[in-house]
Amino acid sequence: MEHMEGMSLKKLINSPENYVDETLEGLVLAYGDRLSFAETNKRVILRATTAKKGKVGIVTAGGFGHLPVFLGYVGENMLDGCAVGNVFASPSARSMSEMIEACDNGAGVLCVFGNYGGDKMNLSIAREAAELEGIRTETVLVCDDVASSPPESAEKRRGVAGMVYAFKIAGAAAAQMRSLDEVKAVTARALENIRTFGVALSPCIVPQVGKPTFSINEDEMELGMGIHGEPGIQVCKMLSADETADTVLSRLLEDMPLAAGEEVSVMINGLGATPLEEQLIFYRRVHNVLSGMGVKIIMPHIGEYATSMEMAGLSLTVFRLDEDTKALLRYPGDTPFYTNHNI
């Protein structure tokens, strides 16, 4: 066991170099009836079931280390495919290109991506390759992290847990056989009404790096931390669950005010090492505050949806609903890591 900066590199792995590929092998062995590798690329995960001819393909891509994001949402009425990079690193343009080609059912492909430079650059190359093959693509970027940029430059915000809602809406709209333009429009509209804010209590250790992504004192927490360890906006002394919920919710409501009578879905997302009990205590406060405002919560999501390996902390996502997005959220969706049957 190796000790670095007060934390031990203590992981149930074989070797850091094989961490991603062995995880993917385990995934396909466990869920081979629902997921498969692309024919010539084991960094591309696809639905094992055949999509309807004429259905818009829904895809994403991103670095590893955030399960269930990204590949955990490949499944029925959600994503059709996902390209996988190394830990916290973008997948290759070749992987993205093969993913797009595999997920085209004749109606084009919508790429739902987090707002990260490497992902966007490689996606641009992959989309050009798809165009040469006669495949039409469109892109929607997820920019839901309010801590990462102010409202006047919201297009620079990082994509975090709110992307799970985007996958759900896009997948459901495509399953209803809407056109590529229609699927893009409703997904973009959903994202305009999604905000996320996270807090971190402790860092994670990237296997191939072998040391914590950041350092924080035992009696402190960081507000606004990104899922790759990007700096937050404030380090403060530990707050109680209610105090933390009030702080985080107030930040979101400053950015997206809510009125009595509106309906939202709320996601309490554990970052990897925060027990469900603590997430439920946090949700209790969020529920009571929003209910007191006259805001109705539809289908709360509580659990681990977008993690950062063993990072302790959580994020709060608020998704303001309209009648269409509410129906799409409720539309059946099922992957090895997500089902809305019990939400």
Active-site residue identified among 228, 287, 301, 341: 228
The hierarchical CATH code for the domain 9-191 is 3.40.50.10440
Which pTM does this prediction carry? 0.96
Per-residue pLDDT tens over the stretch 275-297:
999 999 999 999 999 999 999 99
Per-residue pLDDT tens over the stretch 232-277:
999 999 999 999 999 999 999 999 999 999 999 999 999 999 999 9
Per-residue pLDDT tens over the stretch 70-79:
999 999 999 9
Active site residue 341: no
Q: Please state the domain extents for the chain.
A: 9-191, 194-339
| CATH architecture of the region 194-339 | 2-Layer Sandwich (3.30)
- Return the axis-axis angle of helices 180-191 and 162-175, rounded to nearest 10°: 150
Active-site residue identified among 3, 66, 287, 341: 66
Q: What is the 3-state secondary structure (H, E, C) of the chain?
A: CEEECCEEECCCCCCHHHHHHHHHHHHHHHCCCCEEEECCEEEEEEECCCCCCCCCEEEEEEEECCCCCCHHHECECCECEEEEEEECCCCCHHHHHHHHHHCCCCCCEEEEEECCHHHHHHHHHHHHHHHHCCCCEEEEEECCEHHHCCHHHHHHCCCCCHHHHHHHHHHHHHHCCCCHHHHHHHHHHHHCCEEEEEEEEECCECCCCCCECCCCCCCEEEECCCCCCCCCCEEEECCCHHHHHHHHHHHHHHHCCCCCCCEEEEEEEECECCCHHHHHHHHHHHHHHHHHCCCEECCCEEECCCCCCCEEEEEEEEEECCHHHHHHHHCCCEECCEECCCC
Two tokens at 242?
A: 């209610």
Active site residue 66: yes
Per-residue pLDDT tens over the stretch 111-155:
999 999 999 999 999 999 999 999 999 999 999 999 999 999 999
